[in-house]
Amino acid sequence: MHVTLPDGKQLDLPSGATALDAAKAIGPRLAQDALAATANGDLVDLMTPLPEGASITLITKKNPGDAAAVFRHSLGHVMSQAVGEFYRAKGHGDEAIKRGVGPSIENGWYQDFDLPEPLREEDLPDIERLMREIIGRNLEFSRREVSKAEGLAQFPHDPYKQELIQGLPDDEPITFYQQGDYVDLCRGPHYPSTGRLPGAFKLMSTSGAYWRGNEKNPILQRVYGVAFATQKELDEYLHQLEEAKRRDHRKLGRELELFTIDPLVGRGLPLWLPNGTVLREELAAFLKEQQFRRGYQGVITPNIGNLELYKTSGHYQNYSDSNFSPITVDDEQYMLKPMNCPHHVRIYASKPRSYRDLPVRLAEFGTVYRYEQSGELNGLTRVRGFTQDDAHLFCRPDQLKKEFLDVLDLTVLVLKTFGMNDVRFRVGVREAGNSKYVGDEANWAAAERQIIEAVEEVGLPYSIEPGDAAFYGPKLDFVVKDVLGREWQLGTIQVDYNLPERFDISYTGEDGAPHRPIMIHRAPFGSLERFVGILIEHYAGDFPLWLAPRQVMIIPIADRHNEYAEQLRAELHEAGLRAEVDDSSNRMQAKVRTAELSKIPVMLIVGDKEQEGRQVSVRERSAEGHREEKGVAFDDLKARLLERQRTRA
């Protein structure tokens, strides 16, 4: 057999040769340094036979990060061995420890266990210590293929392994990996030995998990670990986790009194508190201002609709898992609104339209309801009732490109306004052979082509994701990276030839005949709830002045300055700024500290000198730190703050 190296050279090897054989053929030093390989782009270990004619790349200790998924998987096996030794030391036999699956995942791995007694969080350091001992033994990983009968005989007391092996096809090779006395059913790949695994790992947590994700099955104990090629990468990751905890929108939402979720109201149904309502309304006002400039018309639609509406649109059939059950009223059935678009289609259809009337741009901050499983609910970012900044544009074919580009420009403007500049663009198209997509083949092809042409015209980098389209049309998603490096799918734009067809809407063309409009669906924020949750974490609650629910806190140094402070508050309030006075009996430093904890961006401190000169001392906070100014003319400061608010700086 032969394999091809990255430089195009070919190696002739014996049939069934492994990546280690390839490394030895190149040189003994490479064989000593090799950790894993890729074959035709897939990670493989040094023990697995290579496919005939494979293009291979050898991964060495110079670039161990390229084999991250391999060393994380191997560390999962080391952890599993350590857990066995931990319970053996407590007097339990090996047959008492049963294991489910244990894959590598992003940044680490997990392993599911059925244990004779629960593993506690405080036991994790002991498991880590045992893992480091196993790594120090430098145990070789070995691979062997076995028959199904041999596989079943290896795990006579483990029903989970038995079930996995029984489910494998008879003609599929079954592979075991072993290090020391630990053997497991596994496809691999693995490192050559435990001694070559990186020491930059940490066990993070345990949780319950249903076997194979089915709530009818037993609950196993899942142990999570993380690992990186270097200690620096691990330290950075752990720091990022701590920063994520500090920025957690659920924690900050409670501390800053932005929202609450009350079990008596219902899980996944946020209640917006006064401070959060200010934030939400500022976002809506910003977008409504942009929409007004671009010729949108506002509409309002009900929170429920006749079931036939959603059957016609296809949402009832195609989103059955996420719809709430229909409600029977008299002799009709209604549904909590899962989407705004069919309502907007009916508004379009409420009167005859001429080609001169198009484009029609209908916009609504419309609340919709989707069923989410309880375990998936998460603060504001995963809810059951949320408000979309929805708009639907009805246009002629000759208007489609211009309208799409304008929506694209609007969405990019929205993201830049909030400092979300690290964005990638994802074009979701149909997946070949998938029956979920409805409509004419030619229309789908046209819509996909038009989205790609528009993105290319403005020079945006994009990826094409088959299977990511909505059931009625392709889309462009905006995937944003926040300050912690996490990706969020926010805005979306969709081109739709199908809903106009399903609802049989039209406009009268220049020729006097009816023509079918094309729809554009768009939502720059996506949903207000999710967007606010992400914003809270992006800013760590330190909102810019225009967004901050509490903008200015005036702090009188002594009681005799309260009247002056109240006068300034009234003037700021009259000018449209949200200002308060802390006239409590606390000392000035305590008042400053209280305003700091409330993340109020501007503090104005007033005493005798300030009162005499109609001045203030200014203390401003932001995520970057503090800035202080003394003896600032109040009128100048007010003008400055109003300009920042007007420009949404």
626 counts as catalytic: no
Confidence of residue 36 (pLDDT cuts 50, 70, 90): very high
Confidence of residue 625 (pLDDT cuts 50, 70, 90): low
Per DSSP, the three-state class of 255 is helix
Indicate if the pLDDT at residue 622 is higher than 70. Answer: no
Confidence of residue 544 (pLDDT cuts 50, 70, 90): very high
Q: How many other C-beta atoms can be found within 10 angstroms of the C-beta atom of residue 258?
A: 25
Confidence of residue 65 (pLDDT cuts 50, 70, 90): confident
Tokens of 79: 């952890």
Per DSSP, the three-state class of 6 is coil
Q: Which residue has the higher pLDDT, 282 or 451?
A: 282
Alpha-carbon gap, residue 527 to 386, rounded angstroms:
6
Alpha-carbon gap, residue 185 to 233, rounded angstroms:
30
Alpha-carbon gap, residue 69 to 461, rounded angstroms:
27
Of 111, 388, 494, 615, catalytic? 388
Of the candidates 147, 154, 139, 144, which has an alpha carbon nearest to the alpha carbon of residue 74? Answer: 139
Instruction: Please give the C-alpha separations between residue 20 and each of 26, 47, 58, 158, in angstroms, as whole numbers.
Output: 10, 7, 9, 33
- For position 172, what pLDDT does the model report? 80
Of 222, 337, 475, 550, catalytic? 475
Q: Tell me the residue type at 229.
A: A
- For position 623, what pLDDT does the model report? 59
- For position 62, what pLDDT does the model report? 86
Indicate if the pLDDT at residue 572 is higher than 80. Answer: yes
pLDDT cut 90: percent of the chain above it: 76
Of the candidates 258, 280, 259, 281, which has an alpha carbon nearest to the alpha carbon of residue 271? Answer: 259
- For position 173, what pLDDT does the model report? 82
- For position 303, what pLDDT does the model report? 95
* Binding-site annotation, residues: 341, 392, 521
Residue-averaged pLDDT of the chain: 92
Indicate if the pLDDT at residue 438 is higher than 80. Answer: no
- For position 485, what pLDDT does the model report? 82
- For position 529, what pLDDT does the model report? 96
Per DSSP, the three-state class of 505 is coil
Contact between 193 and 143 (Cβ < 8 Å): no
Q: Which 8-state DSSP code applies to residue 186?
A: -
User: pTM score, two decimals?
Assistant: 0.81
- For position 419, what pLDDT does the model report? 87
Of 392, 550, 591, 638, catalytic? 392
* Binding-site annotation, residues for Zn(2+): 341, 392, 521
Confidence of residue 189 (pLDDT cuts 50, 70, 90): very high
Q: Tell me the residue type at 298.
A: G
Of 390, 482, 496, 582, catalytic? 390
368, β-bridge pairs: 386
Instruction: Please give the C-alpha separations between residue 392 and each of 188, 301, 521, in angstroms, as whole numbers.
Output: 49, 13, 5
341 counts as catalytic: yes
Confidence of residue 184 (pLDDT cuts 50, 70, 90): very high
Sequence-separated (6 or more) residues with CB below 8 Å from residue 538: 247, 418, 419, 420, 482, 483
- For position 624, what pLDDT does the model report? 64
Q: Which of 173-182, 252-261, 488-497 has the lowest mean pLDDT?
A: 488-497
- For position 562, what pLDDT does the model report? 95
Contact between 508 and 355 (Cβ < 8 Å): yes
Tokens of 547: 């967004």
Alpha-carbon gap, residue 160 to 288, rounded angstroms:
56
Alpha-carbon gap, residue 271 to 254, rounded angstroms:
12
Indicate if the pLDDT at residue 390 is higher than 90. Answer: yes
- For position 473, what pLDDT does the model report? 83
Indicate if the pLDDT at residue 277 is higher than 90. Answer: yes
475 counts as catalytic: yes
Indicate if the pLDDT at residue 403 is higher than 80. Answer: yes
pLDDT per position as a tens digit, 284-310: 999 999 999 999 999 999 999 999 999
Q: Which 8-state DSSP code applies to residue 438?
A: -
Q: Which ranges of 110-230 would DSSP assign to H, the alpha helix?
A: 124-136, 148-154, 159-166
Report CA Rg, the chain: 31
Confidence of residue 579 (pLDDT cuts 50, 70, 90): very high
Ramachandran angles phi, psi of 515, nearest 5°: -130, 155
370 counts as catalytic: yes
pLDDT per position as a tens digit, 93-148: 989 999 999 999 999 999 999 999 999 999 999 999 999 999 999 999 999 999 88
Question: Looking at residues 371-376, what average pLDDT do you find?
Answer: 86
Q: Which of 177-191, 284-298, 414-428 has the lowest mean pLDDT?
A: 414-428
Span between the terminal Cα atoms of the chain, in Å:
64
Question: Looking at residues 232-261, what average pLDDT do you find?
Answer: 95
Q: Which residue has the higher pLDDT, 439 or 216?
A: 216
388 counts as catalytic: yes
Indicate if the pLDDT at residue 482 is higher than 80. Answer: yes
